Amino acid sequence: MSDLSLTLQPIGRIHTPYQEKFSVPRQPNLVQDGTGMVELIFPYNVPETVRGLEQFSHLWLIFQFDKIPQGKWQPTVRPPRLGGNQRVGVFASRSTHRPNPLGLSKVELRKIECGHGKVLLHLGSVDLVNGTPIFDIKPYIAYADSEPNAMSGFAQEKPTALLQVRFSPIAQTAVQKIEKFQPHFQRFIIEVLQQDPRPAYQQGQISDRIYGVNLWNYNVRFWIRENGVVEVVEIENVAKKPVNLQAYII
């Protein structure tokens, strides 16, 4: 048999607020303020590579699950939408643990920015860790890619919010200061946490454990209380200074 192996090189990387896998929404469009930006790298960072792309409102991103240990895939996985208790085949899921660590994500294209040796694609809501390698970009074509009557198995409907999010007085004061230069940061935190980022087998459980998610340069610390309530107890600026989030991604 001939060698069918393929070596891929990234064409760019994505900048997102999600500094770790734990904080990433399980699908795009669940967190409206969790936007991203693809920055093309040499030799693809020239305007010619995106000529005509402004005519499309959405894109497909082909990317690498670079935070996942390679070679540890299994033929069956436990999807979070099934509570982490039922197994399905790896190819019947969007699990990160795959024979080849490749992912596919549909994202909104909001703006293309070219200049000073950079090509930047400003995107809507994304579901990727900051710095994820991008291997290819393809335009979303509605008549071919959209199937309104498609069957989506155990993920037919958009997931509902699992938790209510509250802020301690300390956390509320912190988020109010941040929102002076970054609007909607509190809404961003709420939409991330209400999906319950914990592993599926922990969802629905009450715990005294303090969790943390890293969003931009902030460590948002929270714990799960009774009656489906998550309380944000503290927001720590790990950069130790105010951050202009829009400038940070560029």
CATH topology of domain 12-66+101-145: Elongation Factor Tu (Ef-tu); domain 3 (2.40.30)
The two domains 12-66+101-145 and 164-247 share their CATH topology (first three levels equal): no
pLDDT at position 250, please?
35
CATH 3.30.2310 fits 164-247, yes or no: yes
Name 132's Cβ contacts closer than 8 Å, sequence gap at least 6: 13, 14, 16, 63, 64, 66
pLDDT tier at 2, thresholds 50, 70, 90:
low
DSSP assignments along 130-153, one per residue:
TT-EEEEEEE--HHHH--TT---G
The pLDDT confidence band at residue 246, using thresholds 50, 70 and 90, is very low
* Predicted confidence band of residue 240 (pLDDT cuts 50, 70, 90): low
What pLDDT digit, counting tens, does each position of 145-179 carry? 999 898 988 778 877 777 899 999 999 999 999 99
What are 54-110's pLDDT values in tens digits? 999 999 999 999 988 887 888 999 887 887 788 999 999 988 889 999 999 999 999
| pLDDT value of position 70 | 80
For residue range 11-60, what is the model confidence (pLDDT) as tens digits? Answer: 999 999 999 988 898 888 889 999 999 999 999 999 999 999 999 999 99
Prediction pTM value: 0.87
Residue 242 near residue 181 (C-beta atoms within 8 A): yes
What order do you get walking across the sheet with 218-225 strand by strand?
164-167, 229-237, 218-225, 211-215
pLDDT in tens, 103-158: 999 999 999 999 999 999 999 999 999 999 999 999 999 999 999 898 988 778 87
Residues 6+ apart with CB under 8 A from 228: 162, 163, 164
* Local confidence band at 222 (pLDDT 50, 70, 90 cut-offs): very high
Lowest mean per-residue pLDDT among 53-62, 136-145, 185-194, 232-241? 232-241
Structural domain boundaries of the chain?
Answer: 12-66+101-145, 164-247
